[in-house]
Amino acid sequence: MHRIVNHPRRVMTALALVLAPAATLAAMGAADQATGPVRCEIRAAPQGSSMLALEALVHADGSVSGSYSFHVESVGTAGGTNIEQAGAFDASPSRPAVLGAVALSAKGAYDATLEVTVGGEHVRCTERVGGGRI
């Protein structure tokens, strides 16, 4: 039987050198949303048998003021949902602040994006929901 790789350690080292930076960048992107002093969240929950509720939330480690933009758009060929909510908010560490909310047909699929700005810093959350996924 032929060996395709003569030096498996070299191949593994090369793969580690290529994949490690990509994994680090992915972790950094997730860490910004999950561990910073201001974090965003898009919460999806079924509402009855035919509706889907989306909430845009911000979590803060201290009292903050800022602005937000919440955008929901249908995915695929069905429907034509395009919702934009935006405004100012105040949040405290005691509980998440609800920035916006929408109710949609549970039959569709949607891309939801929440962008939060506090003190010149931007935090962004994106979720694909509906279409059998919550």
Condensed to tens digits (0 to 9), the pLDDT of residues 77-128 reads 666 889 999 999 999 998 899 999 999 999 899 999 999 999 999 999 999 9
Q: What secondary structure letter does DSSP report for 93?
A: T
**What is the distance between the alpha carbons of residues 87 and 68, in angstroms, rounded to a whole number?**
6
SS3 state of residue 71: strand
Over residues 127-132, the mean pLDDT reads 84
Task: Tell me: pLDDT of 40 over 90.
Answer: yes
**What is the distance between the alpha carbons of residues 3 and 21, in angstroms, rounded to a whole number?**
29
16: pLDDT confidence band, cut at 50, 70 and 90?
Answer: very low
Neighbours of 102 (CB within 10 A): 16
Over residues 28-43, the mean pLDDT reads 66
Per-residue DSSP letters for 5-46?
A: -S-HHHHHHHHHHHHHHHHHHHHHHHHHHHHSSEEEEEEEEE
User: Torsion angle of alpha carbons 112, 117, 123, 126, nearest 10°?
Assistant: 0
Between the alpha carbon of residue 31 and those of residues 42, 44, 51, the distances in Å are 16, 21, 31
Whole-prediction pTM: 0.70
